[in-house]
C-alpha cells in the first residue's frame, strides 16, 4: 500500500503518512487502532512486542 492509498483510507494527506513513517509525528492510540484495522495488525500485539512481551 502506498502512502497516498493509506492517507486516503485514513482521510488524511499523504504528507501526514510520510511524517508518521519518518518519526516526525507520533501515533496516538486512536490512530494506532485505525492503522491496525486498515493494515491488518492487532495493536495490542504490537504494543506487547514494543514492551518486550513477545
Per-residue model confidence as pLDDT tens for the chain (54 residues):
999 999 999 999 999 999 999 999 999 999 999 999 999 999 999 999 988 876
- Decide if 38 contacts 6 (C-beta within 8 A): yes
| pTM of the predicted model as reported, rounded to 2 decimal places | 0.84
The DSSP 8-state label assigned to residue 23 in this structure reads: T
CA distance 21 to 53: 24
pLDDT at 54: 60
- Give the pLDDT of residue 50: 87
pLDDT score for 44: 95
Amino acid at each position: 500500500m502506498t502512502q497516498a492509498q493509506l492517507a486516503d483510507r485514513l482521510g488524511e494527506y499523504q504528507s501526514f503518512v510520510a511524517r508518521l513513517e519518518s518519526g516526525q509525528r507520533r501515533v496516538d492510540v486512536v490512530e494506532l487502532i485505525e492503522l491496525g484495522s486498515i493494515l491488518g495488525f492487532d495493536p495490542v500485539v504490537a504494543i506487547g512486542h514494543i514492551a518486550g512481551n513477545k
